[in-house]
Copies of this chain bind each other. A is one copy, B any other.
């Protein structure tokens, strides 16, 4: 299945509301890059509020999609990382360095606006 990607003005909004399996995560990576290309979006918010579990593969895919999007000229903010997910990421030694994060979708959008204005 595919993760829906919403275009809103210059931004793409994604809420991941299922536990990602490997295939879905890779499909999402491909879809998001395609959508950035198609829409010329300047910013992306990926909301993980509903994600309770994350493994090293998914974390790697997410980390990569952020870097790939940046290469294409779109800033990415990850929002709503749950306590258990934060614990897992650090336990796995995955720090998502240089990836901006925020508490929720609204604050993620604010952060993007600030970054794009700088």
Residues of chain A touching chain B, judged by Cβ–Cβ distance below 8 Å, are 1-9, 13, 15-18, 47, 105-106, 109
Contacts and interface: CB of A to CB of B under 8 A. Distances in A.
Which 10 A-B residue pairings sit nearest by Cβ, starting from the closest? A4-B17, A4-B15, A6-B15, A4-B4, A8-B105, A6-B13, A9-B106, A1-B1, A2-B17, A6-B105
16 contacts: A1-B1, A1-B18, A2-B17, A3-B4, A4-B15, A5-B15, A5-B17, A6-B13, A6-B15, A6-B47, A7-B105, A8-B8, A8-B105, A8-B109, A9-B106, A13-B13
Contacts of A4: 3-4, 15-17
A8 B106 contact: yes
